Amino acid sequence: MQKINNKVFDFQFFLSNRKKVTDLEKSAKQYGGATKNYTTDELYSNIESNDYITINKTRNTISLFVPDTYNINQKADQKLIGKVILYCATEIKNRYKDIPFAEKAIGSWYSEDLQQVVYDNIILLVTHHNNISITDINFFISLANYIKQEMKQEGVFISINDALAII
């Protein structure tokens, strides 16, 4: 097992661990956010633990979160969502010679400004790798920055194994 300090990246926010939860709303209020993956039926919140991304010796997962919103909270046009997913999936395929899995999810997060839980539908572009390097993580950061620009987002999530980062 290898560990990479998250501070080598320009993350807006970083959480290094994952906790199974039972309720999107309660978990958003308690932990700041939660994700329900409809494809795998997982329900979890990412939580603080340490400053490191843990890299396994064999199977590692990197996921890119594509929201269904534009300009932070407006419903995005399906053509835009499709364009962004196609671009990111093609870039991943070209780099790794493998097509990412597209998984449906819903994310919840607690808005301090609104004093309420906000929900976003998400497409997770999921890839599996035997090894992950700083270069690989930077590649996914560049894709997240593309999504931020195209969809006018304040931040876009990527996950590396159990860690979650906002780009």
DSSP type of residue 77: P
In tens, the pLDDT along 91-123 reads 999 999 999 999 999 999 887 777 888 888 999
What residue segments make up the domains of the chain, in order of their start? 11-43+61-166
In tens, the pLDDT along 83-92 reads 999 999 999 9
Instruction: List Cα–Cα distances, 34 to 43, 119, 164, in angstroms.
Output: 7, 10, 11
Q: Is 162 exposed, middle or buried (0-12, 13-18, 19+ CB in 10 A)?
A: middle
Tokens 């046009």: give the residue. Answer: 77
For the segment 134-154, the average pLDDT, to the nearest whole number, is: 96
